Amino acid sequence: MPLAGVCAEWCTRLVVDPRLVPINGLIALLRGDGGWPALLGQQGFQRYSLEGHLITEISDTRVDAVIYRRDPDLVLLAECKSGGNIDETQARKYEAATLANLRRTDLLPSSLRRASAVAIAPLFVGIEQRRADLETGLRLLKLAAPLLTVGPNRVRLSDASGIDGLDDFDHAHDAGLPPARLRVDHQSADVEVRELVLPEIVAAQAREEDILGIESVCQAILPEWAILAPGARGDFIRKVEGVVRLLAADELRGSCRLERGVSGQRSRIVIDSTPASKRPQGRTQAWQAQQRRAARGLRGRARAEIEGQTSLDDLAAEGGLADE
């Protein structure tokens, strides 16, 4: 279909928000996607949770990522930074986390729940170009924590010598920036989320579906949905709901609407009309009219690409996604 083709082409050109490069780098080092070395995966680490709610004696916070390994049993609480500053208040919460805290807030993997001794440590993740700034920040705050930095040609993990089960590395690679498993999150601008939601609705129209669950759209947009914590899921669902309302009033006006869920059910997108359902003689014109509206909206919201960024679409086309 003309519109589906335009949206598919646009989606392959989408790149990750620079703010999300560190978390994508962390995931790539666990999975080994896109030519990235699985340096953390090779040490036995797995990801458990993203944006999990942590309660400490200092105060509550959200942990960007929780990764863990067995034998020796170790949990790392990752704070991902796209800039060069370390937030002391946030860092102290990570530093103060205990095994009891993780149990209380469901941030402890089930395979570790019966373990008698589990080491817990913060891990700061940043961009390679800002490593010197991050090292200075950690030193000034007297934070004895490992630092992982990711870049298009080099990844480095330092100051891990005091943590049993975590080894330093300094590795050069030529894979570019990490694959965009997280292109957006609940803090992303509406226009960025809109670029991902629109193709999902158009694809449903092409399939002549009349109802599309809001959570199924979120799952399609975020491959890491299964490990996204409940609070973050709710935030992202509300973000997508707002974007659907905008689309229903603009590019997709008259063809879809958001219907609020009742009795604990999630909201859903109701597709009232689709060019695919029209008679053959009018179908092409209907798709073309909708295509023009979508193309105008997408054209006005182009973002500068990050050099070296690989999209999931690119990886899928090349057969480059690693198996879990």
Structural domain boundaries enclosing 274: 2-16+184-315
Is 191 found in the same domain as 276? yes
User: CA-to-CA distance for 259 and 256, rounded, in angstroms?
Assistant: 10
- Among 24, 144, 5, 153, CA closest to 86: 144
From 172, 198, 230, give the residue that closes a domain. Answer: 172
Is 159 found in the same domain as 25? yes
**Is the four-CA dihedral 308, 38, 94, 183 of positive or negative sign?**
positive
27-31, 89-93, 267-271, 312-316: lowest mean pLDDT where? 312-316
Is 153 found in the same domain as 28? yes
> Which of the pair, 41 or 106, is modelled with greater confidence?
41
Strand, helix or coil for residue 257: strand
| DSSP annotation of 265 | P
Is 216 found in the same domain as 150? no
State residue 262's pLDDT score: 79
- 280-299 and 190-206 helices, crossing angle to 10°: 170
Is 179 a domain residue? no
pLDDT in tens, 216-275: 999 999 999 999 999 999 999 999 999 999 999 998 988 899 998 877 788 999 999 875
Is 177 a domain residue? no
Is 321 a domain residue? no
Q: What is the mean pLDDT of residues 158-181?
A: 95
Number of domains the chain is built from: 2
Is 148 found in the same domain as 286? no
Strand, helix or coil for residue 79: strand
Give pTM, 2 decimals. Answer: 0.82
State residue 155's pLDDT score: 98
State residue 16's pLDDT score: 63
Is 194 found in the same domain as 160? no
CA 300 to chain centre: 24
Is 248 found in the same domain as 120? no
111-145: buried (b, 16+ CB within 10 Å) or exposed (e) per residue?
A: ebeeeeebebbbbbbbbbebbebbbebbeeeebeb
Is 322 a domain residue? no
Q: How confident is the model at residue 284 (pLDDT cuts 50, 70, 90)?
A: low
Is 9 found in the same domain as 47? no
- Among 88, 87, 83, CA closest to 126: 83
User: CA-to-CA distance for 324 and 322, rounded, in angstroms?
Assistant: 6
